[in-house]
């Protein structure tokens, strides 16, 4: 018999039917009476002074209602460095940066008017790479940097927006004692989020001046707080509501076009919809941080890993955004899931005149794990060891501590590796198999949930967690249903709306199942206790003797007879005794951080992160001898999720992460031609399609996390991370060549094969 | 802002009359390229002449003597599925089957594709290797041009103002096999480099795509190959001639250097594959 009724079942998506039938409403489908349409004018320069902006011709077009420029947005913002503005003011810092925005009667008119805005620029020298930015006497991306408010106020060199070091033990002494040391420099590229739905928002102000913003976002509460900061309004005057979101992957974690739409709506007193074209989205929005990772790993002859050092340079683009935290997390995770005692991780983020780098599924982890997992195989090759076996020997276990001292409470890594080994086929000619592991976190910051028992005994679950398409709504409803012994169809999952939903930080950090799930469990548990309080009076027994029975009924444990329904209890609560039954809970992730007795840390931008999650993948590849093209035929992905609340949704997250990881490994690369993105279209920037996908074999491992809801923890980010090193290790296994630059293009493969 | 005026003639003569009268008219075939260019602001035609109602532009006919006529409005999907395109004509069918993706193949047409002429597209090298002729018509006249003459330079063809592509003609093909080999980043992408190879008597016709302004064909290389297809040295010599004649560029799909290195590899692989096919047959 199943342990649970709803948890662990692959319940269909709550919104599956509306999405499959095309009735799901995204921002671009929304309309309001009197709707105006927004359009954005982008900078044509990577670095220039704005001398003057002439909007007269645009405003003179009949049907154009309002044109806003940087002067209309005086407030700077930014989570770590207050360097950012909603529209460029005085300076533009990348090609594509929004310079002006306007509202007009039709989308075509808005675009036509945008083209009539005349901007007088004085071009300035630009820095397009970290090497250029960090060179002596380089032009400054932010000449006013010294005046910006910063959360991590350590001294920084010019054009550096974050610098961090983390060290434990004595790395230099440890390397000196190692039998084998490998060292190399690895380079990773700018990956674009490429969510199916470009960024968009619809904003409308009411007569009192309160503005409502429907948008494609990862957090209605981040939208509310940041728009309030940018417009200089109290949060109580901003209402943010989630539309259906067509993918985000970190790219909609910070505000996108919401402040622009809100300002236009407030100015025009008309509803304004601003949805970016794919072209605009590519040019204005964000990428993963390109990275250069120097890394060195040392081991003893018996295979014990003892030391690792890394120096990381990230390209942060024109604005800092989350760079400080991305860097800190990358350095924290760079040790990898191995018992390595001596570590020294150093890194910095350079400002450049490119579009902003941002959080992106993995958050600094894919860059360092590419380096780290390649080096495990390099050491295995030097020691003549099986790479999977070497990983097993060194793998962290439950009860171990991470860098910084946080205890690993539950750990299925060894199990992931063993299950992987059991699944792998015997060696076959022309095919190489490579393995890579991932450690990540699941958690971060705070969240909350409200469970309301309606008069008929059904339940409304409110959280602030926006479903980005991964199925979190369904998983949270399953957690609620299980806690209350209800079938899933009795749960109404309320759309996140800052006017009614309880706070949630964001859908990010692989945290919704784990963090919001904890809040839902606690809130539903509180509702259950209150139901029991009524039931005890109604059945004339002690609340402690009561049990939930399937379908929303309460009876006395061990006594098959008398029972009452949620409907009876809730009717009593609403109409006679006590008032409506509401459960609520707030949670914060409070574990982790750095123990100063073991770690020397400077410039750290990360706080208490979350529970550790682990996985291991293997890729089977073939390499076309004619062209160097890598084809991945099969990919085994073993991931410890604590408990799979919805196994199909877990497998979906694994498939999606592997697809995006495959793009990162083999195809995706936003290149620059001087100051301009060279391939900012889906025609030239290639994401993998159905025909590129390998057969994916998901292996779900369940080592329950003690603090997680029913033992569950996150799976959103980890499956992307090990794909690239697993493929690189497979190519090395097949041909003995080590590729250290992503993506692993046929050109790079062929060059390596020819050199070998 | 006004969009282009759309006309939808039922006959070729009516379409040609519009082209003669309207200097800023553009033919709308499958829209796979032109609509994308219009969306990107790279084309702003005043008049769009939709060709989808003109029956005489559609379909593939094979004459008794083996000559093939492919109407300009034949969709890639139809060409890819027509198994009468065999032997020396298979190269054209194979090229059609690897264009972009299924959605584009359902809409895109051979006439539209070659009239736009992206040098990294699939038909140009296949048609050049197949010794195809392009039929062009204007209100005043109809003419035929060898594919080698039709493709002039980057995105430039021999189409004159007022003219349109009406058909593609393939000469009779022997029973010897042909092959189109495309190397792209992903299955839906334009080629990094491609190679069309048609065995011809004791030799072969070879055209390389995406490695210069027009499909690359080298009479010198083909002369080296004549009678020596199974000779590795001859193949290497022909490949070197082709690679030296190539004029590739660096772009996001690959470097010029990589493209030059690919040419001999693609040629050797294609010849081995065709010789194996011929032996098996």
pLDDT digits (tens, 9 = 90+) for A483-514: 999 999 999 999 999 999 999 999 999 999 99
Q: Please indicate, yes or no, whether the overall pTM of this predicted structure exceeds 0.90.
A: yes
Query: What residues in B contact A679, CB-CB < 8 Å?
Result: 252
Contact yes or no for A128/A672 (Cβ under 8 A): yes
Cα–Cα distance list, A429 to A325, A397, A622, A754 (Å): 44, 35, 10, 20
The reply to whether residue A109 touches residue B252, judged by beta carbons under 8 angstroms, is: no
Instruction: Give the residue from A352, A319, A343 showing the smallest Cα distance to A46.
Output: A352
Contact yes or no for A702/A642 (Cβ under 8 A): yes
Residue B1 sits at the chain A interface (C-beta within 8 Å): yes
Residue B265 sits at the chain A interface (C-beta within 8 Å): yes
CA distance B166 to chain A (A): 28
Name every residue whose Cβ is closer than 8 Å to that of residue A647 and which is 6 or more positions away in sequence. A8, A10, A700
Cα–Cα distance list, A615 to A248, A370, A702, A716, B127 (Å): 23, 14, 11, 12, 50
Instruction: With a cut of 80, say whether residue B111 has pLDDT above it.
Output: yes
Q: What is the mean pLDDT of chain A?
A: 97
The reply to whether residue A627 touches residue B265, judged by beta carbons under 8 angstroms, is: yes
Predicted confidence band of residue A208 (pLDDT cuts 50, 70, 90):
very high
Q: CATH homologous superfamily of domain B183-280?
A: CO dehydrogenase flavoprotein, C-terminal domain (3.30.390.50)
Residue A684 sits at the chain B interface (C-beta within 8 Å): yes
Query: What residues in A contact B254, CB-CB < 8 Å?
Result: 745-747
The reply to whether residue A626 touches residue B265, judged by beta carbons under 8 angstroms, is: yes
Q: At the topology level of CATH, where does B5-50 sit?
A: 3.30.43
Model ipTM value: 0.95
Instruction: With a cut of 60, say whether residue A237 has pLDDT above it.
Output: yes
Q: What is the mean pLDDT of chain B?
A: 96
Residue B148 sits at the chain A interface (C-beta within 8 Å): no
Contact yes or no for A666/A743 (Cβ under 8 A): yes
Q: Helix, strand, coil shares of chain B as percentages rounded to 5?
A: 40, 25, 40
Residue B40 sits at the chain A interface (C-beta within 8 Å): yes
**CA-to-CA distance for A376 and A206, rounded, in angstroms?**
59
Mean pLDDT of A260-269: 98
The reply to whether residue A629 touches residue B40, judged by beta carbons under 8 angstroms, is: no
Query: What residues in A contact B255, CB-CB < 8 Å?
Result: 747
Dump strand ranges (E) for B47-99: 47-50, 60-62, 68-71
Render pLDDT for B9-47 as a digit per residue (tens, 0 to 9).
999 999 999 999 999 999 999 999 899 889 888 899 999
Contact yes or no for B221/B151 (Cβ under 8 A): no
Name every residue whose Cβ is closer than 8 Å to that of residue B87 and which is 6 or more positions away in sequence. B173, B174, B175, B176, B177, B178
- How many residues are present in chain A? 756
Query: What residues in B contact A747, CB-CB < 8 Å?
Result: 254-255, 258
Query: What residues in B contact A192, CB-CB < 8 Å?
Result: none
Choose, out of A623, A676, A747, the residue to mutate when testing the contact with B (most B CBs < 10 Å).
A747
Render pLDDT for A54-109 as a digit per residue (tens, 0 to 9).
999 999 999 999 999 999 999 999 999 999 999 999 999 999 999 999 999 999 99
Tokens of A470: 């991964």
Torsion sign (Cα): A115, A119, A120, A125? negative
The reply to whether residue A678 touches residue B188, judged by beta carbons under 8 angstroms, is: no
The reply to whether residue B1 touches residue A745, judged by beta carbons under 8 angstroms, is: no
Residue in the structure block whose two tokens are 């539209």: B112
Tokens of A379: 């050491």
Render pLDDT for B71-99 as a digit per residue (tens, 0 to 9).
999 999 999 999 999 999 999 999 999 99
Beta strands A291-299 and A272-275 are unpaired
The reply to whether residue A667 touches residue B40, judged by beta carbons under 8 angstroms, is: no
Long-range CB contacts (< 8 A, 24+ apart) of B1-8?
Answer: B1/A108, B1/A109, B1/A111, B1/A112, B4/B38, B4/B44, B4/B45, B4/B46, B4/B47, B4/B48, B5/B46, B5/B47, B5/B48, B6/B47, B6/B48, B6/B50, B7/B47, B7/B48, B7/B49, B7/B50, B8/B50, B8/B52, B8/B53
The reply to whether residue A689 touches residue B183, judged by beta carbons under 8 angstroms, is: no
Q: Show which of residues 167-196 on chain B sit within 8 Å of chain A, judged by CB atoms.
A: 183, 185-190, 192
Render pLDDT for B164-183 as a digit per residue (tens, 0 to 9).
999 999 999 988 999 999 99
Choose, out of A61, A190, A627, the residue to mutate when testing the contact with B (most B CBs < 10 Å).
A627
Instruction: With a cut of 60, say whether residue A1 has pLDDT above it.
Output: no
Three-state SS at A149: coil
Name every residue whose Cβ is closer than 8 Å to that of residue B185 and which is 6 or more positions away in sequence. A667, A686, A745, A746, B192, B253
Query: What residues in A contact B188, CB-CB < 8 Å?
Result: 686, 689, 691
CA distance A755 to chain B (A): 14
Instruction: With a cut of 50, say whether residue A225 has pLDDT above it.
Output: yes
Contact yes or no for B209/B124 (Cβ under 8 A): yes
The reply to whether residue B192 touches residue A683, judged by beta carbons under 8 angstroms, is: no
The reply to whether residue A750 touches residue B189, judged by beta carbons under 8 angstroms, is: no
Residue A109 sits at the chain B interface (C-beta within 8 Å): yes
Name the closest residue on chain B to residue A683, using Cα atoms.
Answer: B189
Query: What residues in B contact A108, CB-CB < 8 Å?
Result: 1
Q: Helix, strand, coil shares of chain A as percentages rounded to 5?
A: 30, 25, 45
**CA-to-CA distance for A69 and A99, rounded, in angstroms?**
6
Instruction: With a cut of 90, say whether residue B252 has pLDDT above it.
Output: yes
pLDDT value at position A2? 62
Tokens of A341: 């005692």
Name every residue whose Cβ is closer than 8 Å to that of residue A362 and which is 6 or more positions away in sequence. A288, A440, A717, A720, A721
Which residue in B1, B190, B252 is closest to A671 by CB distance?
B252
Architecture of domain B55-170: 2-Layer Sandwich (3.30)
Render pLDDT for B119-156 as a digit per residue (tens, 0 to 9).
999 999 999 999 999 999 999 999 999 999 999 999 99
Residue A683 sits at the chain B interface (C-beta within 8 Å): yes
The angle at the Cα of B210, spanning A684 to B90, to the nearest 5 degrees, equals: 110
Residue A371 φ/ψ, nearest 5 degrees: -65, -50
Residue B61 sits at the chain A interface (C-beta within 8 Å): no
The reply to whether residue B1 touches residue A688, judged by beta carbons under 8 angstroms, is: no
Find out whether the peptide bond into A588 is cis, omega within 30 degrees of 0.
no
Instruction: Give the residue from A209, A319, A220 showing the smallest Cα distance to A263.
Output: A209
Share of chain B above pLDDT 70, in %: 99
**CA-to-CA distance for A583 and A528, rounded, in angstroms?**
8
Choose, out of B44, B188, B197, B265, the residue to mutate when testing the contact with A (most A CBs < 10 Å).
B188
Q: Show which of residues 689-718 on chain A sit within 8 Å of chain B, judged by CB atoms.
A: 689, 691-692
The domain locations on chain B are 5-50, 55-170, 183-280
Residue B103 sits at the chain A interface (C-beta within 8 Å): no
Query: What residues in A contact B192, CB-CB < 8 Å?
Result: 627, 746
Name every residue whose Cβ is closer than 8 Å to that of residue A558 and which is 6 or more positions away in sequence. none
Render pLDDT for A365-416 as a digit per residue (tens, 0 to 9).
999 999 999 999 999 999 999 999 999 999 999 999 999 999 999 999 999 9
Query: What residues in B contact A745, CB-CB < 8 Å?
Result: 185, 254
Which residue in A626, A681, A689 is closest to B186 by CB distance?
A689
Query: What residues in B contact A689, CB-CB < 8 Å?
Result: 101, 186-188
The reply to whether residue B101 touches residue A686, judged by beta carbons under 8 angstroms, is: no
Q: Give me the half-sphere count of Cα atoms (radius 13 Å) on the Cβ side of residue B7.
A: 20
Instruction: Give the residue from B115, B257, B251 showing the smallest Cα distance to B189.
Output: B251
Which residue in A678, A685, A747 is closest to B255 by CB distance?
A747
Which residue in A679, A689, A747 is closest to B254 by CB distance?
A747
Predicted confidence band of residue B277 (pLDDT cuts 50, 70, 90):
confident
The reply to whether residue B269 touches residue A112, judged by beta carbons under 8 angstroms, is: no
């Amino acid at each position: 018999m199943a342990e649970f009724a709803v948890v662990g079942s692959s319940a269909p998506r709550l919104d599956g039917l509306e999405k499959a039938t095309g009735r799901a409403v995204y921002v671009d489908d929304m309309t309001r009476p009197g709707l105006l349409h927004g359009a954005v004018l982008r900078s044509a320069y990577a670095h220039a002074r704005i001398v003057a902006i002439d909007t007269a011709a645009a405003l003179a077009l009949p049907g154009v209602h309002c044109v806003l420029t940087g002067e209309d947005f005086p407030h700077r913002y930014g989570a770590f460095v207050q360097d950012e503005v909603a529209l460029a003011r005085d300076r533009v810092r990348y090609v594509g940066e929004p310079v002006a925005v306007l509202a007009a009667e039709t989308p075509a008119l808005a675009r036509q008017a945008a083209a009539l805005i005349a901007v007088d620029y004085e071009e300035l020298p630009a820095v397009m790479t970290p090497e250029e930015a960090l060179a002596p006497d380089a032009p400054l991306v932010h000449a006013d940097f010294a005046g910006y408010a910063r959360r991590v106020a350590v001294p920084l060199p010019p054009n550096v927006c974050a610098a961090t070091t983390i060290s434990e033990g004595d790395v230099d002494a440890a390397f000196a004692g190692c039998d084998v040391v490998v060292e190399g420099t690895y380079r990773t590229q700018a990956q674009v989020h490429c969510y199916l739905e470009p960024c968009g928002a619809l904003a409308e102000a009411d007569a009192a001046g309160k503005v409502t913003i429907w948008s494609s976002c990862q957090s209605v509460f981040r939208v509310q707080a940041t728009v309030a900061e940018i417009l200089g309004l109290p949060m109580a005057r901003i209402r943010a509501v989630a539309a259906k979101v067509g993918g985000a992957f970190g790219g909609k974690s910070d505000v996108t076009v919401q402040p622009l739409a809100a300002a236009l709506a407030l100015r025009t007193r008309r509803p304004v919809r601003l949805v970016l074209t794919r072209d605009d989205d590519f040019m204005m929005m964000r990428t993963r941080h390109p990275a250069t990772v120097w890394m060195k790993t040392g081991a003893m002859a018996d295979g014990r890993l003892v030391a690792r050092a890394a120096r990381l340079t990230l390209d942060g683009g024109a604005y800092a955004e989350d760079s400080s935290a991305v860097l800190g997390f990358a350095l924290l995770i760079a040790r990898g899931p191995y018992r390595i005692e001596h570590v020294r991780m150093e890194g910095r983020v350079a400002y450049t005149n490119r579009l902003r780098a941002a959080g992106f599924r993995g958050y600094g982890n894919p860059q360092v794990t590419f380096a780290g997992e390649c080096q495990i195989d390099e050491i295995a090759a030097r020691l003549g060891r099986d790479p999977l076996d070497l990983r097993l020997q060194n793998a962290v276990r439950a009860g171990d501590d991470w860098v910084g001292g946080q205890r690993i409470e539950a750990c299925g890594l060894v199990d992931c590796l063993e299950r992987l080994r059991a699944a792998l086929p015997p060696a076959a000619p022309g095919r190489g198999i490579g393995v890579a592991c991932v450690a990540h976190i699941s958690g971060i910051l705070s969240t909350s949930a409200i469970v309301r028992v309606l008069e008929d005994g059904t339940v409304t679950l409110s959280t602030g967690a926006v479903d980005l398409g991964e199925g979190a709504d369904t998983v949270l409803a399953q957690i609620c249903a299980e806690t209350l012994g209800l079938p899933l169809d009795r749960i109404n999952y309320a759309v996140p709306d800052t006017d009614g939903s309880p706070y949630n930080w964001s859908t990010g950090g692989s945290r919704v199942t784990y963090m919001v799930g904890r809040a839902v469990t606690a809130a539903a548990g509180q509702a259950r206790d209150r139901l029991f309080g009524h039931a005890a009076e109604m059945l004339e027994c002690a609340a402690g003797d009561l049990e939930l029975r399937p379908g929303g009924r309460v009876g006395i444990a061990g006594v098959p007879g008398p029972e009452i329904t949620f409907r009876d209890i809730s009717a009593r609560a609403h109409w006679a005794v006590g008032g409506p039954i509401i459960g609520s809970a707030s949670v914060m992730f409070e574990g982790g951080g750095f123990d100063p007795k073991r770690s020397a840390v400077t410039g750290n931008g990360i706080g208490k992160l979350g529970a550790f999650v682990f996985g291991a993948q293997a890729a089977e590849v073939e390499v076309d001898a004619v062209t160097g093209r890598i084809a991945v035929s099969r990919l085994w992905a073993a991931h410890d999720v604590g408990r799979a609340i919805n196994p199909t949704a877990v497998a979906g997250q694994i498939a999606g992460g592997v697809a995006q990881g495959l793009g990162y490994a083999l195809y995706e690369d936003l290149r620059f031609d001087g100051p301009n993105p060279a391939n900012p279209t889906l025609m030239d920037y290639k994401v993998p399609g159905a025909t590129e996908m390998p057969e994916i074999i998901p292996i779900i491992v369940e080592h329950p996390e003690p603090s997680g809801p029913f033992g569950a923890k996150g799976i959103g980010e980890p499956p992307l991370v090990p794909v690239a090193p697993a493929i690189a290790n497979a190519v090395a296994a097949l041909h003995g060549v080590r590729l250290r630059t992503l993506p692993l293009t046929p050109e790079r493969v062929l060059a390596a094969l020819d050199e070998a | 802002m006004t969009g282009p005026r759309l006309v939808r003639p039922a006959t070729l003569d009516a379409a040609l009359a519009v082209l003669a009268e309207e200097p800023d008219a553009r033919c709308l075939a499958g829209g796979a390229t032109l609509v994308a260019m219009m969306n990107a602001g790279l084309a702003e035609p005043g008049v769009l002449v939709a060709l989808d109602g003109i029956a005489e532009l559609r379909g593939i006919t094979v004459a008794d003597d083996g000559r093939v006529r492919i109407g300009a409005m034949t969709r890639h999907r139809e060409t890819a599925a027509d198994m009468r395109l065999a032997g020396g004509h298979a190269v054209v069918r194979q090229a059609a089957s690897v264009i972009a993706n299924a959605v584009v193949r359902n809409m895109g047409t051979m006439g539209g594709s070659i009239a736009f002429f992206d040098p990294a597209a699939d038909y140009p090298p296949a048609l050049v290797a197949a010794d195809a002729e392009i039929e062009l018509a204007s209100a005043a006249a109809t003419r035929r041009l060898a594919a080698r003459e039709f493709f002039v330079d980057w995105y430039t063809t021999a189409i004159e103002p007022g003219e349109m592509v009406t058909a593609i003609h393939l000469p009779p093909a022997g029973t010897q096999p042909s092959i189109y080999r495309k190397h792209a980043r992903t299955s839906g992408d334009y080629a990094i480099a491609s190679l069309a190879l048609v065995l011809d008597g004791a030799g072969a016709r070879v055209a390389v795509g995406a490695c210069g302004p027009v499909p690359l064909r080298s009479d010198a290389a083909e002369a080296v190959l004549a009678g020596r297809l199974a000779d590795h040295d001859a193949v290497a010599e022909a490949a070197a001639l082709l690679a030296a004649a190539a004029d590739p560029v660096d772009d996001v799909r690959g470097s010029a250097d990589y493209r030059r290195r690919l040419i001999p590899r693609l040629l050797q692989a294609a010849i081995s594959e065709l010789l194996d096919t011929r032996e098996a047959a």
